[in-house]
A and B are shown apart, each in its own frame.
Chain A
Amino acid sequence: MSADDRHTLRRLVRHRGVQIGVAIVALWVLLAALATPLTGYDHSAFDPDTALDYQNVPPSWWDRANLPPDVEARTFLAGTDDLGHDMFGLVLYGTRYSLTIGFLAVAISLLVGIPLGLVSGYFGGWLDTLIMRSIDVVMAFPTILLAICIVTVLGQSLVNLMVAVGLVGVPGIARQLRAEVLRVKQLEFVQAAQALGFGNTRILFGHVFPNCLAPIIVLATLSTATAILETAGLGFVGLGPEPGTPEWGLIISENRNLLTQAPWAVLTPGVAIVILVLGFNLLGDGLRDVLDPRLKKR
């Protein structure tokens, strides 16, 4: 580890936004992993009949007057919905879906966006024009609309939802990377490598790409937040996984009829989305503060 890297790392660790962001994300990952032992709620072994005895039970901190004694005896941190799901357990369990979809969708964005951005920026010419104009066309569509189109064409499933959210993120990654490549390929060490007669592939992956990583890492983190939001949005409009899957957007949509009777059934997943998205955004912003050379030493 070079002195410069150590310096960056120290700045990262000391950054307040990064600290909070990492804490939130780590906490969520931990909670998601421990959902069942923590809350006693097991989504895969859910007994629908006993659960129905605990329908629309208010959270333990809510006004719990007029509850039958056997219902009152059980506490639910975030209440239950009308199928008797423990909302806290269900939402924590749903974190697995949101995080997985978020990460994999961004992985798809990167997998498609990085080659496009590299090729476009490095080779330029007609290839650049072709790729960038195509991306302009894609960007002309509102992202949610585009994602809806993709899901409609591919068919409705968890995987396709991921693909849709991932593909929607491609233009951002590709454009950002292209801009970086355009900057880096002017630098002397790249010209030196070219003068030494290195092949394009070697220059691209050995010299150019590693020096474009910082902004991509920032963008990927922020994209994860967007991906989680978009997933929830698609789940809400019914283009997500099948009903009954504890995906946050879907839970909100399924329980919206309870808004007056059992608001906690809608608010819990809503609050979960806010916190997790906030965590990723804080982390992303912090990373940018530290990694972006233009913001350095201010």
Chain B
Amino acid sequence: MIRTLAAVVAVALLAGCPGPDSQGGGTVGTTPGLKTFVFGRGQESVTLDPANATDGESVKVIVNVFDTLVRYAEGSTQVEPCLATSWDVSEDRLTWTFTLREGATFHDGTPVDAEAVVFTMERQRDPAHEFHQGEFVYWKDQFGAVEKVEAPDAKTVVFRLSEPFVPFLQNLAMFSASIVSPAQFKQLKQAGGGEEAFTNAPVGSGPFKFKEWRRNEALILEAYDDYWGGRPKLDEVIFRAIPDNSSRLQLLKKGELHGMDGINPADVGALEEEAEIELHTLRPGSNTAYLAFNNLKPPFDDARVRRACALALNLDKIASSLYYGLAVPAKNLLPPTIRGHNDALPARPQDREGAKKLLAEAGFPDGFETTVWTMTNPRPYMPQPSKTAQYVKNALAQIGVKAEVVTKEWSSYLEEVEKAEHDMAFMGWSSDNGDADNFLYVLLSKDSTEIGSASNISFYRSDAVTELLVKARQEFDLSKRDALYQEAQALIYEDTPMIPLVHNALVIAMRKSVKGFKIHPLNELRFHKVDLE
């Protein structure tokens, strides 16, 4: 009966082991006597080159290693001075002048001067720049209006814009505008490093400096003693990627982690009663989970088909059940927390009969076959990608649309949806800067639909909407700007290039021994002021 026993044991192991791709017992060496803060998350960072990062996991590390000219104040999306102490804008709003802080230095010892700012910006702007290596996805959307960046003297930087651009200052606080050390780039190049060299040896001027990155194991930062804002209280910050939510939570409970994000929505209720753990929650967060239709591919090039699919879903149920009540159902792509949100639009009711009628009108009385893509790992806006996909699949089946669920690992997922290879795909967005432009222009303008680097993965190419969004970027009168956004959202609602699903809560769990952590509406995880007891 040994074989039988073996089978039983195997099943027990199968049911009990943490997950397909978790690191189980990977131990991270913490040096005794040091204040080491360990943060657990679901994914590894992709890159530590701020100008080329597009994913939240990279940003979590970047905001601790790098500084920006201005930054978001604690707990709000208002900007405050950072590397720049003051700034001035010309009457025509085309010239912005920044005065830099005295005494800020990069981790390699070189000063943060105007040259470094020019290097950071020109590298992204100028295709002929020696270090213009990468996609610079954010540059085009957030800084496309920048014509030239100049350094009249060591402490002054001048940005010249080709047109007025409202979110400019807001965008300068974004991670992609993090000031990088030119000396490090030059040195890496001399040493023969390629395009990827900087991501493995990033040098910024933030409160923590990069120490070591063992991919899928640990990314280690250490305190930067000469930080202009004062040395951080922590000595080391370690980011660990633990894909499985439950295993990560176990590690937090055991005390191997001090903080984590990506909590199973199902576990939140029980965690609130946990004595050792404090939950930091913000509901709704400034994020949106959505289901993008590939508007380039039939049958989704027909608005009636897209509307029909939207009518098949019950967003209230998704929010209350699949997100365990942590999320609120979405009307718009733009979350209600962000200025410009059009609250007058009606919530989309579930209407299967109406959906079938629309499908019949569009020439699909018996439905059609298609695919719905989802990622393998949970995202902040989508904690249960596979289950959500199954819900959508089953809901679409009710109106005759047979969708096959396709799962892909995150980096290939991004790559392929940017190339428009999907039919329907789950995606989401967390606000980078608290501005409407960062949602609507990035995700729905015609200008962001370039195959291969699209952030508008619905490939929605409406001229009318794009025109409104571009106008709003230049409208400094905020109430007029709101009106433009509301009009755009009404048009988008009608066209349904995507289905905004829900706005999820931000939930971060920290052990009670962690002091000084505040949740940020943009989900920026800054550890400068965090301390361990």
Chain A positions within 8 Å of B, measured between CB atoms, are 46-49, 52, 55-56, 82-84, 222, 225, 229, 232-233, 236-238, 242-244, 249, 252-254, 256-262, 266-267, 270, 273-274, 277-278, 281-282, 284-285
State the CA gap A155–B12 with chains docked (Å): 28
In the complex the two chains form, is A244's CB within 8 Å of B405's CB? yes
List residues of chain A with CB within 8 A of the CB of B390: 48, 83, 243-244
In the complex the two chains form, is A273's CB within 8 Å of B4's CB? no
List residues of chain A with CB within 8 A of the CB of B322: 52, 82-83
Say how far A76's CB is from chain B's closest CB, in angstroms. Answer: 16
For A282, the closest partner residue in chain B by CB is B4
Q: Known: A243-B386, A259-B246. Is A83-B391 also a contact (CB below 8 A)? A: yes
In the complex the two chains form, is B395's CB within 8 Å of A278's CB? no
List residues of chain B with CB within 8 A of the CB of A232: 11, 14
State the CA gap A49–B316 with chains docked (Å): 10
State the CA gap A278–B391 with chains docked (Å): 34
B404-427 toward A: CB 8 Å interface, digit per residue (1/0)?
A: 111100000000000000000000
In the complex the two chains form, is B270's CB within 8 Å of A285's CB? no
Determine which of A238, A260, A284 lies in contact with B407 in the assembled complex, contact meaning CB atoms within 8 Å.
A238
In the complex the two chains form, is B246's CB within 8 Å of A274's CB? no
The 7 closest A-B pairs by CB, nearest first: A48-B394, A270-B15, A237-B20, A244-B390, A52-B321, A281-B4, A243-B386
In the complex the two chains form, is A277's CB within 8 Å of B11's CB? yes
Q: Known: A254-B386, A277-B11, A278-B4. Is A238-B270 also a contact (CB below 8 A)? A: no
In the complex the two chains form, is B266's CB within 8 Å of A257's CB? yes
Determine which of B3, B14, B387 lies in contact with A83 in the assembled complex, contact meaning CB atoms within 8 Å.
B387
In the complex the two chains form, is B321's CB within 8 Å of A82's CB? yes
List residues of chain A with CB within 8 A of the CB of B389: 243-244
State the CA gap A284–B3 with chains docked (Å): 10
- Which residues B289-341 have CB closer than 8 A to chain A? 314, 317, 320-322
Whether a CB of chain A sits under 8 angstroms from the CB of B10 is: yes
In the complex the two chains form, is B4's CB within 8 Å of A49's CB? no
In the complex the two chains form, is A243's CB within 8 Å of B407's CB? yes
Residue among A252, A256, A260 with max Cβ neighbours from chain B (10 Å): A256
In the complex the two chains form, is A242's CB within 8 Å of B405's CB? yes
State the CA gap A278–B384 with chains docked (Å): 33
Number of residues of chain B lying within 8 A (CB) of chain A: 43
Q: Known: A267-B15, A274-B11. Is A261-B267 also a contact (CB below 8 A)? A: yes
Chain B positions within 8 Å of A, measured between CB atoms, are 1, 3-4, 7-8, 10-12, 14-15, 19-21, 244-246, 264, 266-267, 270, 314, 317, 320-322, 350, 374, 376, 384, 386-387, 389-391, 393-395, 397-398, 404-407
List residues of chain A with CB within 8 A of the CB of B11: 229, 232, 270, 273-274, 277
In the complex the two chains form, is B376's CB within 8 Å of A238's CB? yes
- A sample of 4 more A-B contacts (CB under 8 A), given A84-B321, A256-B19, A260-B266, is A46-B397, A222-B3, A256-B244, A256-B246
For A252, the closest partner residue in chain B by CB is B15
In the complex the two chains form, is B407's CB within 8 Å of A242's CB? yes
Residue among B7, B314, B395 with max Cβ neighbours from chain A (10 Å): B7
A-B contact pairs, 14 of them (CB 8 A): A46-B394, A48-B398, A49-B317, A56-B266, A83-B394, A232-B11, A233-B10, A243-B407, A256-B246, A257-B266, A273-B11, A281-B3, A281-B4, A285-B3
State the CA gap A56–B267 with chains docked (Å): 12
In the complex the two chains form, is B407's CB within 8 Å of A266's CB? no
Say how far B498's CB is from chain A's closest CB, in angstroms. Answer: 20
State the CA gap A274–B7 with chains docked (Å): 7
Q: Known: A243-B389, A244-B390. Is A257-B264 also a contact (CB below 8 A)? A: yes
List residues of chain B with CB within 8 A of the CB of A254: 386-387
Determine which of B266, B270, B314 lies in contact with A49 in the assembled complex, contact meaning CB atoms within 8 Å.
B314
For B317, the closest partner residue in chain A by CB is A52
State the CA gap A84–B322 with chains docked (Å): 10
List residues of chain A with CB within 8 A of the CB of B407: 238, 242-243
Determine which of A233, A244, A260, A274 lies in contact with B8 in the assembled complex, contact meaning CB atoms within 8 Å.
A274
State the CA gap A198–B477 with chains docked (Å): 100
Determine which of A46, A82, A285 lies in contact with B1 in the assembled complex, contact meaning CB atoms within 8 Å.
A285
Say how far A18's CB is from chain B's closest CB, in angstroms. Answer: 14
List residues of chain A with CB within 8 A of the CB of B386: 243-244, 254
In the complex the two chains form, is B246's CB within 8 Å of A260's CB? yes
Say how far B320's CB is from chain A's closest CB, in angstroms. Answer: 8
Say how far B300's CB is from chain A's closest CB, in angstroms. Answer: 20
State the CA gap A256–B250 with chains docked (Å): 13
